[in-house]
Structure 1
């Protein structure tokens, strides 16, 4: 990690960082998530301000759950606090249909929107119009310690089952030396633990709802998925796992504490960064697991993207910034400063056709294959009335998903049983979905 990024990470999560030393005509306030790629972007924005001396940047950098709460409240009320929002594939079509987002159909010609990966571009468009520009895209996969697997005498197939994963987690666990066989998300949130658990339930043959919008938490797939999840975390996971989200598990893996970590493909560049990761030269990859007999490897498709709220009074300047931050030139800037391995993944076809990137990023092919394999229309082997891979693409899901996440996190913390968590999830989801008229 560069000195610049370390310094930014050390700043308070709610800090506003001014990045211009000269008089500006315009100040953009940018709300973003405290993930590594976004922190890296902040460290490189002097390039933007050099090219645009009339625009100053002010950052509001937030933890994922807090970011979602803040930007959702602001855009729904037309608060106008932010000029650029960091949002995901869940929010874009819902907010665009509410006319809360500015269309990005007039980006500069050299932006080359046709270069965006089709799956990501489609996910961020409504009726063919782009409403957010992807900063990075991801699916999900297994990352594991090849040295620990070898020492434990286990082989992790390229397309493992959950039985393979559980056996490997048991074999690699060494609590005396603080080595945990598996690290998984436990922090409550529709985009934290429920992103993972929804994908896991999909891979067990489950779904949130059947075609009659009846909640499915007391079905066999959900019962088996949650039971296996809790068993793995209790026996082979790190202590305090109910507090661990993406960033916490990334840190554990980089410190050599995790035998396996199943999470977003975007993590691959960070676990293989020799400046930050103590296990950078011992990382292997595998497809998100499935349960034996279920032809579904946890469909997951996501992009952290930059969008402009309709309430912004600085829309032209905001488009200039988004064009810079998500364009091909930015990818080349990252490569020149930190190497091709660190280029933002999962957004542009040209990156995956770049021989230098392919050589520097051993995870590139698996990332692209996982993203191309994600089916957000048929996310489960069950027929469902909704779309979305690791989420349900309805406006009510953010609230419902977070409530269910709190139940699952409480079970992980030992505050209730799996049966109680699933029964509570079933009841609250049924109440909310009936109240919404589905």
Structure 2
């Protein structure tokens, strides 16, 4: 065997070893996500991604909303490196982006078309024009109601209802003897659960979390009116055990025909009108979040988004995944497999210019109108020192918001009066804001 032959054989062997090594060195991405329907659907469609990226493997950690937030917050604050892709919301992104905890996403490929992301959604996921997360779906909140029950009860729910309209409709449709409750609302404690809903309701009543000097305002008459009416609605016309109900529990109740109305995330529109899962799919009407005549509606602004922790050891592969999962290509994949009504809503301008989508999704126009009705820079009637509609965009809010939510949930469960819950909320908020240095 001559020298040239040996060299060629050696090169071939090294090449083969290199190919084998490459095959063995597939990158594994660990993705933490919430157990909402759109995320579950995404997991079922990711074969399309792995076929395009055979060198990337996906591992899923799917958690209930409150647990996801706890786990992801702990991991990212300690640079734990447990996750490569995390599902986080509009509250966390700007705070964590400023801290340097997230990988910037300003270098996504041109075909991704960042400029197509709805301006209010994109602004909430950016810091100084740097994008730190991409929206998987965007949402506001609106009223979903049973048209058949409303008609039978002789009530009309207008497209722009007041809280008086909601109270009247809840009373008229309430039929607990037949397992139908006038209204279903979030009661489960958590800053992203009952506190989110109650804060938007408070905004529309003229209440605010803090005045311009960061003094908590739970001792105000506006907050008392909010919590009094919330508890009246839930106690008189809500389902039993409502203090344990969050988004998913109320979704199930509505799909089973047990709620006359449900005020919650616009993303629920596709689930309540899906005939495969909803017994009332052809009877659902939609309206904007209610107001009390003060110029602010109970419409929040949120996006469940995909971000990459700075502690990830595979940021390039992670970018490929988040770009795919939030792309126009993915939207078309969902439409092909599940129908246009089931594509992730509230993210792209082009979606609301797509006639196929508008024709298939009876909630589409009300969704975009609700998103545009929310103003994170002026969330309530009175001036405030913070941004955020259903949350306050400060790091301390996560803890304060959950503690306050526990007080309201206790009141709903009958363990505290309105006055007791509000006094406790005021006391703990003052203590936390003093400790954090916002007030003296």
| Structure 1 ranges of 4+ moved more than 4 A | none
Q: Name the residue aligned to 1:407.
A: 407
Deviation at 1:24, TM superposition (A): 5.7
Q: Name the residue aligned to 1:149.
A: 150
Deviation at 1:255, TM superposition (A): 0.2
Q: Name the residue aligned to 1:14.
A: none
Specify the SS of the correspondent of 2:386: coil
Deviation at 1:373, TM superposition (A): 1.6
Specify the SS of the correspondent of 1:182: coil
Cα shift readout 1:16-75 (whole Å, capped 9, x = no counterpart): xxxxxx866100000000000000000100000000000000000000000000000000
**Distance (whole Å) between structure 1 residues aligned to residue 93 and residue 332 of structure 2:** 27
**Distance (whole Å) between structure 2 residues aligned to residue 204 and residue 73 of structure 1:** 35
Q: Name the residue aligned to 1:243.
A: 244
Contact kept? 1:202, 1:299, Cα under 8 Å: no
Note the 1:353-368 alignment, pairs <5 A.
353-368=353-368
Deviation at 1:186, TM superposition (A): 0.3
**Distance (whole Å) between structure 2 residues aligned to residue 299 and residue 236 of structure 1:** 22
**Distance (whole Å) between structure 1 residues aligned to residue 361 and residue 144 of structure 2:** 14
TM score, norm. by length of structure 1:
0.94
Q: Name the residue aligned to 1:58.
A: 59
Note the 1:184-203 alignment, pairs <5 A.
184-203=185-204
TM score, norm. by length of structure 2:
0.94
The answer to whether 1:28 aligns with 2:29 is yes
Residues 169 and 309 from structure 1, CA distance in 2 versus in 1: closer, same or farther, beyond 3 angstroms? same
Indicate the structure (1 or 2) with the bigger Cα radius of gyration.
2
**Distance (whole Å) between structure 2 residues aligned to residue 400 and residue 354 of structure 1:** 41
Q: Name the residue aligned to 2:217.
A: 216
The answer to whether 1:281 aligns with 2:282 is yes
Q: Name the residue aligned to 2:303.
A: 303
Cα RMSD (Å) of the superposition? 0.8
**Distance (whole Å) between structure 2 residues aligned to residue 119 and residue 434 of structure 1:** 32
Q: Name the residue aligned to 2:19.
A: none
The answer to whether 1:421 aligns with 2:421 is yes
Residues 175 and 48 from structure 1, CA distance in 2 versus in 1: closer, same or farther, beyond 3 angstroms? same
Contact kept? 1:88, 1:304, Cα under 8 Å: yes
Note the 1:256-271 alignment, pairs <5 A.
256-271=257-272
Deviation at 1:299, TM superposition (A): 3.8
Note the 1:315-334 alignment, pairs <5 A.
315-334=315-334
Q: Provide structure 2 residue ranges, at least 5 long, that are not aligned to the other structure.
A: 1-22
Specify the SS of the correspondent of 2:183: strand
Note the 1:4-403 alignment, pairs <5 A.
25-291=26-292, 293-403=293-403
Specify the SS of the correspondent of 2:61: strand
